[in-house]
Structure formats: C-alpha cells, structure tokens
C-alpha cells in the first residue's frame, strides 16, 4: 500500500562484468517520490546522476546501459534493479564508483542480501502502480515480448538456444508473493565458451569468470557445482526482465511474456507501452484496492 526505502545505507565491492573495473556500490535511503536514482561518484556533479528510466537506456547489447544528459553512461543496471523490484523497494540512491554496477556472482542474490541487511522502511506515501490496460507486443524476427492486462505482476520467459545443454527452457514468476527471492534471485547470467574470445576482443566480458557467470561448452556446464536450478538459464531471463521492466518507474500491474526476448526487446516493449496512451494508466495503491474490492 505504501512506498518503501532502505532503513540504512549498505555497501559492497566488486568488478564490472564487461569493464573488468573494480568499484564500490552503496545503496542509500531516499525520500518518497524519489524513485531509484544511480550516481557515479567518480564523475563531477553535472554528469553523475542517472535516474532509473527506460527512456535513458542507450545500449542493450549483453546488458542494460543508461546514458544521462551529459553523455556519461552506467552499465549493467538490470540485476540490482531486479533485486530492488523483487524486494519491493520504491526509492533509493545508489552510488557507484565506476562505469558499471558490480556483477557480484552474476545473479541478484548479493543485492537481495544487502537489502535484507539494510532493512526496509515503510514511508508515509501511497505506492503508485502502472496498470496495463491493453495488450502491447513487440517483435524482432521470431523473438517477441508482450505485456497484457492482469491484476498481478507476473513474468514468463521461454528461451530456445542452438546448444544441447540450454536447448528450450521455460520459467515463470509471480512477483507478488516472494517468488523473486525464492525462485529467481540466485539465477546467474550465462554464456557460451565459444563466444568468450570474440567478446573480449571487442572489449566485453573483461571481468567475466566462472565466479560470476555460468559458462557452457557444448553440452557441459564448466562451473564447479553445476547449475543452481535445472532451468537456471530461463530463470535468469526472467530476472533480467524484472530488472529491465523496473525502469518503467513504478511496479507494473500486468503480465509479461517473452519468447527469446532480451534487454533490447524488453526496453522496446516499455517504449511501445508508453507510446500508446490508451494502453496504460497510473493508479495508487489505495484506489486500486478499492477498485478490486468493488469488482470482487
């Protein structure tokens, strides 16, 4: 019913998956109505602020990157955004000492742990939701992403890879009943061993290792201990979708369905939703509860 923030600041240190640069990230409480705002502490004041908004996304290749009005960028925001959304945090200031959010173990688990340690503070302001009123669908070849009206916040992803170990997988999530923490938060980012040399030659995955990504070679998972879930690959796609759609600026009341979708289609879907004024509306928690009670 009400907006939330963190009770106290909390920090972690790690490296960027693509940049390979080490940085400190600190999550801090923020006032109601602030939303999620990133701040690069290594930049001067005019270039350091990055509101977490879908229309500031400048690159979606292998991660979600924000670009502010000064032209500065901040990469790989999706995993911490997913953790904030999954833990129900509406307002926070996130300071980062470099160009990329630390990758940690490649999932959202470390960020969920930090949020749990910091604690959640309930604020004296109603939570605002983005209600989906009409189906919105975007496509890229046979890849699709869709948002549909629903009285819940649900996610479903299906992936198909030309790889024997990944193959075809599905995963679903109901974000309204701790499903994120229990079922999705520990799912790690992944990649194919055959792509590593090409990525690094192009300045990507410079900080990648078996400590922060699942690496697949042929039909084998190279990580010691194997997978955390049988369908960890599809669950991570759900995690990414939760983080990418959190850039809408408020929790979305609607059902997401992605077929081989990724950061690019997720962002394109939000752009298509907001472009159609008949497809969405803002609602407050109290008014929404009254509406649902009246229609029960």
CB 94, CB 15: distance < 8 Å: no
Beta bridge partners of 129: 283
Q: What is the token pair recorded at 295?
A: 């229609």
Phi, psi angle pair for 144, to nearest 5°: -140, 155
**List 18, 79, 236, 263, catalytic entry:** 263
Pick from 63, 68, 64, 11: nearest CA to 44:
68
> What's the distance, Cα to Cα, between the start and end of the chain in Å?
18
Pick from 296, 269, 295, 282: nearest CA to 135:
269
Active-site annotation holds for 263:
yes
Pick from 205, 241, 237, 265: nearest CA to 81:
241
How far is C-alpha 213 from the geometric centre of its chain's CA atoms?
A: 16
Residues labelled as active-site residues = 263
């Amino acid at each position: 019913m009400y907006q939330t923030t963190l009770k106290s600041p909390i920090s972690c240190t790690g490296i960027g998956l693509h940049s390979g640069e080490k940085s400190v990230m600190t999550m801090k409480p923020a006032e109601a109505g602030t939303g999620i705002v990133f701040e690069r502490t290594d930049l001067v004041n005019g270039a350091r602020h990055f509101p977490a908004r879908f229309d500031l996304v400048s690159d979606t290749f292998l991660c979600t990157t924000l670009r502010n009005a000064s032209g500065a960028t901040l990469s790989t925001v999706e995993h911490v955004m997913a953790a904030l959304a999954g833990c129900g945090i509406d307002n926070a200031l996130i300071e980062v000492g470099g160009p990329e959010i630390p990758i940690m173990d490649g999932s959202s688990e470390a960020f969920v742990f930090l949020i749990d340690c910091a604690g959640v503070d309930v604020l004296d302001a109603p939570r605002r939701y983005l209600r989906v009123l009409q189906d919105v669908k975007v496509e890229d070849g046979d890849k699709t992403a869709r948002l549909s009206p629903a009285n819940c916040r649900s996610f479903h992803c299906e992936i198909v890879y030309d790889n024997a170990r990944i193959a075809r997988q599905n995963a679903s999530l109901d974000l309204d009943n701790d499903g994120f923490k229990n079922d999705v938060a520990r799912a790690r980012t992944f990649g194919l061993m055959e792509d590593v040399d090409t990525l690094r030659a192009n300045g990507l995955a410079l900080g990648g290792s078996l400590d922060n990504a699942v690496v697949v070679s042929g039909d084998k998972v190279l990580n010691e201990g194997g997978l955390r879930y049988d369908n960890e690959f599809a669950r991570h796609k759900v995690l990414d979708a939760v983080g990418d759609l959190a850039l809408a600026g408020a929790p979305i009341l609607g059902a997401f369905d992605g077929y081989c979708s990724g950061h690019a289609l997720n962002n394109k879907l939000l752009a298509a939703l907001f472009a159609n004024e008949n497809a969405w509306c803002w609602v407050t928690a109290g008014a929404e509860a009254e509406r649902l009670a009246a229609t029960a």
